[in-house]
């Protein structure tokens, strides 16, 4: 009887959605700071899944900051739900994705749109090597469950190659990607 009750409970359990468990933790600034260390004088940054926009604290003066989330976090937020295939219509020097790819259902689509928006990507990711266990991952409302190599393969399919990796922080890989064909290493771009 207990076994059948448990199996019924297991069937009834539905993983939560991000919007149901939404919270922000100042500890994530460690991850953002570590990722920001991978910036290289880019003049415009698009912060995808910007949350409280803590990245702004770590940007050099004069950097143009664009932020995007599924709800307006500030008057300047570009509102897009990545799980409805919505994405900002922008070109920037670098896209910045901190603690967000885990919540994206269609990673191939998302990386493809990033590649249209920029030649560079700075990304944190809790790979399945660093955070194993599907039930635990799903209970955090995560939608993507990729190994390090699977993530790299998807980035490569979108046109990116890994060009730098920082120290892992709090279970996050800290990665920077670039298009191999990038012609203008110091040039700045940002346009609507």
Greatest CA separation found in the chain?
67
- Binding to ligand SAM by residue 103, rule CB under 6 A? yes
Contact pick of 42, 69, 93, 119 for ligand SAM (by CB under 6 A): 69
Q: How far is the CB of 126 from ligand SAM (least distance, A)?
A: 10
If you count them, how many residues does the chain have?
Answer: 192
| Window contacting ligand SAM (CB under 6 A); options: 8-16, 44-52, 154-162, 164-172 | 44-52
- Three-point CA angle 159, 163, 166, nearest 5°: 130
- Binding to ligand SAM by residue 125, rule CB under 6 A? no
Q: Which residues contact 83 (CB under 8 A, 6 or more apart)?
A: 70, 103, 104, 105, 106, 143
Contact pick of 38, 42, 82, 151 for ligand SAM (by CB under 6 A): 82
d(CA 53, CA 49): 9
Contacts with ligand SAM, residue ranges (CB under 6 A):
18, 28, 31-32, 49-51, 54, 69-70, 81-83, 98-100, 103
């Amino acid at each position: 009887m207990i076994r059948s009750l448990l199996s019924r409970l297991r069937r009834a359990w539905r993983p939560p959605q991000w919007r149901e468990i939404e919270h922000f933790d100042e500890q994530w600034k460690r991850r953002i700071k570590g990722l920001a260390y991978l910036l290289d004088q880019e003049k415009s940054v698009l912060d995808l899944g910007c949350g409280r926009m803590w990245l702004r604290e770590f940007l050099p003066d004069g950097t143009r900051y664009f932020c995007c989330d599924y709800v307006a976090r500030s008057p300047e937020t570009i509102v897009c739900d990545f799980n409805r295939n919505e994405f900002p219509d922008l070109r920037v020097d670098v896209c910045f994705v901190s603690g967000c790819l885990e919540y994206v259902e269609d990673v191939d689509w998302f990386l493809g749109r990033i590649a249209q928006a920029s030649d560079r990507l700075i990304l944190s990711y809790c790979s399945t090597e660093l955070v194993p266990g599907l039930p635990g991952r799903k209970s955090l409302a995560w939608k993507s469950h990729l190994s390090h190599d699977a993530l790299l393969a998807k980035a490569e399919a979108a046109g990116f190659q890994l060009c730098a990796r920082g120290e892992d922080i709090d279970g996050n890989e800290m990665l920077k990607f670039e298009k191999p064909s990038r012609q203008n290493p110091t040039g700045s771009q940002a346009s609507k």
